[in-house]
Structure 1
């Protein structure tokens, strides 16, 4: 299988290949090493269900329906677990296994995640506590496109404005992908690897190896993911191929069980074809660096201190000629390329205090600085020969505090306050390269700066109660919370694509911050045979930031909106090894200013499934049903997509089966879209005319897809 999809310099996965060779060469020796994993608050990454199942000679059960809530308004899961549909190629793809999540699709990989109909900076996505922002003015490289879920140990989703600990503006929620430090009580080496093969040339490889002892450890995670253009249910080829890789390494020092100092570094690159865009992504280069410190149990008062520094660089290239045959259109009359990049640096420091027996406070400060620049070119005048021109820079400093009061053994009250000071600087060039559809950015000429400053408060208050007769196997919890968030307009809303120009209304000068007030309620229940959960919300948004494309170009404006919705989930054991599962997500949103639906609202989605787990065998059946969406506002949307009419409903049937060949080796196979259904998601980019699409034709999803995955663990 070729590693490159284009005539440009190939995407080189050499680090992954070398790591895989080392894994195979040393497997016989590594299998003899031993370790113990108890005695520390931060358990190693082998503490997850996936690894516990392998040690007992079983496979981890495949995720069939939506991942349940594990705490009030919170979902915690292991993103390395196999799931249906096919294991994800990016973070957005995996998040769709959580009720309420969907994604703006353009075919293949690199979708943009949407939660409860909200996306972008309303839904911060953090990797190991660090902010990673894409560079493309049209979000071709959304933050999720740089993350491979299978290389992380834990995924934590906080629903709604119910935390203030993880940065500003999180009105929809917070998504955190985390890697846990491995714990060694004796010198040893351990790791895991997986290989996936599937229809349409899909092949993935993942390696995760760690080595260490009580005082020091090192860890390497690496992955490569490749896919060719898939065919929809009608057999039509959809431009959707991709090739990407990531390598991340960490070195940690643990002089005692209560202290951690860790240095981490990472890199990645890739390319992707898009059937719904006028350009393809020919480079997704990422460079990351991080340093974190943690100290626990310092005194009776001071329970823990944490600090981290990080730097991320996204260097993106998009063009209309290297991954496709150039065809004039989309405002581009000649072959062109654009090279935007974004450097994000930041840090965070916090302390956890035991103020009294029943009072716990976590307080701290965080800071982020992001700088965006761009340059453009063509095959005859390469962008690499031109200087980068800065067009936007922002800084945010936040003070936060979150207080937990254990009012009784069964009742808790949690509240938080946050204050952010944000400054954004726009650098408007005296001349710029036209014809890029707003994606070229500034290119030449002297620049002048315009500044905006805002101080924005946020806060929440939540009540939680455990109902009577709580046991480890039988428990019920109810909760209710109210949150308020003021969100500063982000780069895509202020500047991209051309929103700050006078002809577009100069959004930079007058666009107001969003102000969201939302109520969240829910219930969770588990017993020997049942697991059920429900969460619902209702919100009011003042000055919601809306994109308007009806004039033929992008403009942004503020409107007032209301939102509401719910997520439900149920699992019931029905016999030896069998369980029935189901989940439902419904979203309602209205633009009160224009008296019409809020655009880009996903339709109702129902997932029904059955799973089997007995001895070394697992299996599952999933029926995903999505309703037709008749609530739309044509010509309105966000920076990525817009509504263009109603969408039809559909149902897709998928199945999987797995077998643990040994305590260390397992195989999982599945068929997605078993009946070869032709269908398209409501959140979707219209197919590009250069690929033969007419008008506002949605891009279809893959037809029948067969996949096989092998997992190996050694310790």
Structure 2
């Protein structure tokens, strides 16, 4: 095909300093550990391993510390967030969102429940409660369950062991504009054989105001707690039982419905063992179950409209780490997942109010189960390493509404990547292929052939992508990555039809990220990042919907002893490549968007190892703007607010945060 001959084009992303503890190159060639610790304010992450970005979510950062996973990912160039209000933003990477981005919550797959995406998977994640966040760009891993064609995001927690009886912890409090309030308490305690890990956090905010002083319906209130009990029978083994619960409510500017309840409850069992064996190096087993419950209604507005949906998911995996020769390492594994979605709703003229809604029985909507088998291997080749993976997925899906039915899909995914280390440089070239079944939200759209039926006959989406990059680490650090992908049977959501429908097209995507960090002196450093994505609907010869425009960030950081200060200038270009009414499950293009630039300032003060105060002002000049990837503002009904075409971003926002470590 001619589109196979199109040349990869470039532009770029990333930002500052958290190294992977598993990368020998990063440990020896990147910034020294002391330097990394001193550089407290983080405005992004440079890629320091091929196709991966690592970050520590406990480090203070710009913008305002995120209360959910989507808000955190927005700080990493290449990500875009579809804003609905103050909560429930929908993340996409390189213009590809929804189920194309695999979100793994410490080994679990936690799926959203709301048909209108009030609760994407990241809505249940409080980032600061995790120890590591890893972004794997493109289909360059097959290990973590169904493959994310855009990428995979791992929110991970460390397992703890103590050489003697001990206790440690931290607490933080954040306050900001729009009555933003966050609280976090973490406690870790244990001895040589046992440990306890507890975290409790809460976040709330009132409606924020845009740069023109208009209130944007965006209030939320969330509570989370997690408790883990661990047993460490040896220095190289751990068995952990963990329980977590999340609950909250939210209002949005893009719809009349309000989220009365967004809750999640989960239970996991994890076992990890390392072996001194010539063949088997390690084993990991995890089993999990979780349930989401979501109530959305308009009862408080005097409208008799409401529904209650819930999703139950359970699954697990078994991984074996193997040594297959002097230079060969491999992980083989199996995993399983089953998920059921059900709901109930008010029947007009029969049911009235919340009590009637909650007394109705639940009805099945859709169920699916997935069985996966994979192998992921690496072989050392002198200065280079060859990595590869192959995965088989067996899906069974049942539809209980509209035309009803069953379908079985057998899908294959894989990747091949070569990494070369030469002096201070790393180079990589990878090719990956991911096959993805239509998700719940795509299937629940209307069929393009018959609006009375659901889109249950969609073909699986098939993404073939090439990734290439260069990483340089010395006094000056640089990272660059380019991608080119062809997506056969891309699942397009089209709101231009009588009722929003889903159908398959062919599409092409390409772009990349670039970042550079430059130290002017021991005290002053700068960092610049660029990111760009471009998409084309090849079947209809129009731009692909919901692709973000060119974005650049420039930060300056000054450090003197226990003090730091910084500036972050973010510039976003206009986007005139649009397909109005077309996009994905997260949203559709509303029109062309204007470019904008915002300036933020920040500072920190550290007192010993125990106390850290950080503060910032975002959108310093109080401009009024909306991101291109943003929802309609038609549902914004805060008294006194003017109508808005899209949901506007917050105006000038000030915040301060206190961390105490003990």
Question: TM-score, with normalisation over the residues of structure 2?
Answer: 0.92
Cα separation, partners in 2 of 1:225 and 1:707, compared to 1, 3 Å: same
Q: 2:336 aligns with which of 346, 363, 367?
A: 367
Task: Give the Cα separation in 1 of the matches to 2:390 and 2:647.
Answer: 43
Question: Partner residue of 1:382?
Answer: 356
CA contact (8 A) 1:504 1:554 kept: no
| Equivalences for residues 172-183 of structure 1 within 5 A | 172-183=150-161
CA contact (8 A) 1:361 1:401 kept: yes
Structure 2 residue runs of 5 or longer lacking an equivalent are 1-20, 24-29, 347-351
Question: Partner residue of 2:429?
Answer: 480
Q: 1:395 aligns with which of 340, 361, 369?
A: 369
CA contact (8 A) 1:59 1:617 kept: no
Asked if 1:265 is matched to 2:243, the reply is: yes
Q: How many residues align?
A: 627
Question: Partner residue of 1:128?
Answer: 106
Task: Give the Cα separation in 2 of the matches to 1:259 and 1:662.
Answer: 34
**Partner SS state of residue 645, structure 1:** coil
Deviation of the 1:134 alpha carbon: 1.0
Deviations 1:468-496 (A, max 9, x none): 3xxxxxx210000000111111111112x
Asked if 1:523 is matched to 2:496, the reply is: no
Question: Partner residue of 1:425?
Answer: 398
**Partner SS state of residue 623, structure 1:** strand
Task: Give the Cα separation in 2 of the matches to 1:81 and 1:569.
Answer: 20
CA contact (8 A) 2:97 2:586 kept: no
Deviation of the 1:689 alpha carbon: 4.8
CA contact (8 A) 1:121 1:169 kept: no
Task: Give the Cα separation in 1 of the matches to 2:125 and 2:267.
Answer: 15
Asked if 1:599 is matched to 2:548, the reply is: no
**Partner SS state of residue 575, structure 1:** coil
Task: Give the Cα separation in 2 of the matches to 1:277 and 1:501.
Answer: 28
Question: Partner residue of 1:171?
Answer: 149
Task: Give the Cα separation in 1 of the matches to 2:142 and 2:22.
Answer: 23
Task: Give the Cα separation in 2 of the matches to 1:624 and 1:588.
Answer: 20
Asked if 1:667 is matched to 2:602, the reply is: no
Question: Partner residue of 2:595?
Answer: 649
Deviation of the 1:641 alpha carbon: 1.2
Deviation of the 1:593 alpha carbon: 0.6
| Equivalences for residues 412-451 of structure 1 within 5 A | 412-428=385-401, 449-451=404-406
CA contact (8 A) 1:422 1:454 kept: yes
Question: Partner residue of 1:355?
Answer: 324
Question: Partner residue of 2:564?
Answer: 618
Asked if 1:503 is matched to 2:447, the reply is: no
Deviations 1:331-366 (A, max 9, x none): xxx421111100010000010110001000100101
Asked if 1:278 is matched to 2:256, the reply is: yes
Question: Partner residue of 1:702?
Answer: 650
Q: 2:501 aligns with which of 555, 569, 590?
A: 555
Q: 2:122 aligns with which of 130, 140, 144?
A: 144
Task: Give the Cα separation in 2 of the matches to 1:275 and 1:249.
Answer: 34
Task: Give the Cα separation in 2 of the matches to 1:121 and 1:676.
Answer: 34
Structure 1 residue runs of 5 or longer lacking an equivalent are 1-39, 43-48, 327-333, 430-447, 469-474
Asked if 1:337 is matched to 2:306, the reply is: yes
**Partner SS state of residue 253, structure 2:** coil
Deviation of the 1:160 alpha carbon: 0.1
Task: Give the Cα separation in 1 of the matches to 2:610 and 2:642.
Answer: 51
Deviation of the 1:666 alpha carbon: 1.1
Deviation of the 1:632 alpha carbon: 0.3
CA contact (8 A) 2:139 2:434 kept: yes
Task: Give the Cα separation in 2 of the matches to 1:669 and 1:696.
Answer: 30
Question: Partner residue of 1:494?
Answer: 443
Question: Partner residue of 1:80?
Answer: 58
CA contact (8 A) 1:277 1:685 kept: no
Deviation of the 1:639 alpha carbon: 2.2
Question: Partner residue of 1:301?
Answer: 279
CA contact (8 A) 1:262 1:291 kept: yes
RMSD: 2.0
Deviation of the 1:428 alpha carbon: 1.9
**Partner SS state of residue 130, structure 1:** coil
Q: 2:414 aligns with which of 447, 459, 462?
A: 459
Deviation of the 1:59 alpha carbon: 6.3
Task: Give the Cα separation in 2 of the matches to 1:381 and 1:668.
Answer: 45
Question: Partner residue of 1:570?
Answer: 516
Task: Give the Cα separation in 2 of the matches to 1:130 and 1:117.
Answer: 24
CA contact (8 A) 1:68 1:98 kept: no
Cα separation, partners in 2 of 1:415 and 1:642, compared to 1, 3 Å: same
Cα separation, partners in 2 of 1:642 and 1:504, compared to 1, 3 Å: farther
CA contact (8 A) 1:644 1:696 kept: no
CA contact (8 A) 2:493 2:585 kept: yes
Question: Partner residue of 1:220?
Answer: 198
Task: Give the Cα separation in 1 of the matches to 2:60 and 2:609.
Answer: 17
Relative to structure 2, which stretch is displaced further, 598-607 or 273-282?
Answer: 273-282
Cα separation, partners in 2 of 1:499 and 1:59, compared to 1, 3 Å: farther
Question: TM-score, with normalisation over the residues of structure 1?
Answer: 0.85
